[in-house]
Amino acid sequence: MGKAKDIAFYITVCCIAFITSKIIISILLYKRWKRKHLVYEDGFSGGKMVLFKSAIMQQPLSSDVLLKKTLKLSNKDIIGSGGYGTVYRLNINDSVAFAVKRLNRGSAERDRGFERELEAMGDIKHRNIVTLHGYYTAPHYNLLIYELMPNGSLDAVLHGRSMEKKDLDWGSRYRIALGAARGISYLHHDCIPHIIHRDIKSSNILLDQKMEARVSDFGLATLMEPDKTHVSTFPAGTFGYLAPEYFDTGKATAKGDVYSFGVVLLELLTGKKPTDEAFFEEGTKLVTWVKAVVEDKREVHALDSRLKCAPTDEINNAFRIAFMCLEPEPSMRPSMAEIVKMLEQVKSDNL
């Protein structure tokens, strides 16, 4: 009987010690989280704003002013929109501005898109990925507060209205391609768990004040543990950029992002949008047409007419890298880390 009581006593002590340690760890983790975040409650609308502490957030920003300006955003502040939300410009003062993405609630998929962006973006700090500064949650909508990219998207620069278009020389396009590749490579190889973007396209590659590329929009992103090769999911993304195997298998892989990047690289080289049927020849897709033209040694016919005095050898190497990314068989495509190395070799000065 005495032995049974001793065993019971030891078990009780162990259970109490285990629970106590869990509570202490939870408190320490919460305190660490609080040190990295600024939390503002909005009693009026029942919302909560969370800001990640960073250099820009160290400036004297009043929580009341930030909340009031955020809640007063209207149609006149819209700078972009898409299937997963509307983006507003939020001006705090003459020197501080943000891009705010509004995601209306009401469906599981919309809420999941918000959660995906938080999961993927919460701790990422990389020069070629748009910085997430915080978020706001309310009963009927969620807001994501991003770093503002003053030069808009690559899509707008290449194909937008005349006021948005810019004449990008080869050097600028090369730097954009290399920057985007570095950002995607970071997601694939340096993040734990790895991040598969699933919607790489020119409208999701934003340009900062120096025309450097920043990968954005993680509403379709999925996380993948290092020991896995794919994640089973429903087909998502933009037609024209999606890898062909995605429609057959429904499996998201890093090589699917590689294919999408290859389409963007072709877009930079040809100036043509892969989702626009006006640029298809005799019913064939842009990728098929460009391959045929380049293989026939007629690259000049596929090259964007706005690219003047571009070095032939560098252009041909860029086409070669794009076609490697666009291999029909996923296993034949290089990894994003390998693509970065190949692009760095295109120019000897590694712009």
- Whole-angstrom distance, CA of residue 145 vs CA of residue 134: 5
CB-CB contact of 145 with 109 (8 Å): no
Amino acid identity for residue 233 in this structure = T
Amino acid identity for residue 235 in this structure = P
Q: What are the C-alpha distances in Å from 10 to residues 4, 6, 22, 158?
A: 10, 6, 18, 71
Catalytic one of 64, 94, 167, 199: 199
What is the distance between the terminal CA atoms of the chain, rounded to a whole angstrom? Answer: 79
E strands, 187-289, where? 194-196, 205-207, 213-215, 222-224, 231-232, 251-252
As a dihedral over the C-alpha atoms of residue 241, residue 131, residue 165, residue 314, rounded to 10 degrees, the angle is -60
Annotation marks residue 167 as catalytic: no
For 244, half-sphere exposure in the C-beta direction (CA atoms, 13 angstrom radius) is: 10
- Residue 170 has phi, psi (to 5 degrees) of -65, -40
Binding-site sequence positions for ATP? 101
3-state helix, strand, coil in the chain (%, to 5): 45, 20, 35
Containing 156, the helix (H) or strand (E) segment is: helix 154-159
Containing 119, the helix (H) or strand (E) segment is: helix 108-121
CB-CB contact of 104 with 131 (8 Å): no
Binding-site sequence positions? 101
Active site residue ranges: 199
